[in-house]
Amino acid sequence: MISRLARNPDAYLDELTLEYIYEMFSLKGEHALRMLKIMNEMQFYDLSKAGEWEKALLEIQPFIKVNGEQSLWLFEQVLLKAQLMALDYQIGDYTKWKFKSDLDGVLPLIEQREKFFGKMFRKVYGLGLMRHCFIPELMQAPWHKAYRKFYPVPLGNIVPGMKLNKNA
């Protein structure tokens, strides 16, 4: 899409995106238009719409056709991002968490989000062994630090963001 836009800066982005949707997912017609709407809305990070995106993506999923080399990882990434955003919306305002008991109502949602987050990085992105190269604190939802204040995890030998000794 970027190379096509570079050659023709006046190209209509929705047309290019529909072409991309067809090439990546083999979607046409109403399903392609729904996918376009979701992709356009997702970029504005409006969490209140994420539940609708998740529902629509699950309805579209049976119509996705990809070749064997591509598999469904790209679609799974979009679906997982919608699911993560929907859970963030349901988890709500973390600034109100003053006591551990304040999290009781959202713990199942947090656990589900942690599971989806792990799936995205280990299976969809394929970073199972390499995830220590990233700084997880910079990839988590805004509420994650407040959650870990009440539910800390023990640190292992590899601390995210740690610098090695020059003689290591």
Query: Do 45 and 77 lie in a common domain?
Result: yes
3-state secondary structure of 11: coil
**Count of domains for the chain:** 2
pLDDT for 166 equals 57
- What are the φ and ψ backbone dihedral angles of 33, each rounded to 5 degrees? -65, -35
pLDDT in tens, 37-89: 999 898 888 889 999 999 999 999 999 988 776 667 788 888 988 999 999 99
Supply the range of the domain harboring residue 54.
1-91
Whether residue 1 lies inside any domain: the answer is yes
Query: Do 48 and 129 lie in a common domain?
Result: no
**Residue 14 to residue 26: CA distance in whole angstroms:** 16
**Residue 101 to residue 79: CA distance in whole angstroms:** 31
Query: Do 100 and 118 lie in a common domain?
Result: yes
**Res 165 pLDDT > 70:** no
Q: Which two structure tokens, joined as six digits, stand for 70?
A: 């591509």
Whether residue 162 lies inside any domain: the answer is no
Query: Do 55 and 113 lie in a common domain?
Result: no
- Output b/e per residue, 70-93; b: 16+ Cβ within 10 A: eeeeebbebbbbbbbbbbbebbee
Query: Do 6 and 54 lie in a common domain?
Result: yes
Query: Do 65 and 104 lie in a common domain?
Result: no
pLDDT tier at 135, thresholds 50, 70, 90 = low
